Amino acid sequence: MTVRHAWPIVIVRTFLLGAIFVIGCLSIMMNQIVGMFVFANDGVQKQAVINATKKQFIAVFGTVTRWANPCKISITYDPSTLPEGDSFKVDSLGNLSSILTPNSVVISNHQIYTDWLYLWFILYTARLGDSVYIMLKDLSKIPVLGFGMKNYNFLFLSRKWEKDKIVLTNQLLTIDANARGLGPANGVTHVTSTNVGSSELHHWPEGHKSGQIWPYLVILYPEGTVTSARTRAKSDKFCQERNMPVLRHTLLPRVRGLFLTLRKLRNTVEIVYDFTCGYSGLKPGEYGEDIYTLKSHYLKGYGPEKISYHLRGWKLSEIPLGEETEDIDDVSPEDLVKFEEWLFKVWYEKDRMLDQFYKHGSFVDPKSDVIYTPGKVAENTVVADFRINGISDIIGSFASITIILLLLRIIWILILKLL
Q: 393 CB contacts (<8 Å, ≥6 apart)?
A: 55, 56, 58, 59
Residue (of 350, 345, 343) closest to 248 by Cα position: 350
Amino acid in the structure at residue 406: L
How far apart CA 70 and CA 212 sit, in angstroms, is 38
- In CATH, the architecture of 71-387 is 3-Layer(aba) Sandwich (3.40)
* Residue ranges, the chain, pLDDT below 50: 369-378
Compute the radius of gyration of the chain from its Cα atoms: 23
Q: Rounded to whole angstroms, how far apart are CA atoms 125 and 324?
A: 34
Burial of residue 277 (CB within 10 Å: 0-12, 13-18, 19+) is: buried
One-letter identity of residue 306: K
Span 386-401, pLDDT tens digits:
999 878 888 989 988 8
CA dist., res. 46 & res. 145, Å (int) = 19
pLDDT at 375: 38
**Does residue 308 contact residue 357 with C-beta atoms inside 8 Å?**
yes
Cα–Cα distance measured from residue 161 to residue 234, given in angstroms and rounded to the nearest whole number: 19
The pLDDT value recorded for residue 53 is: 96
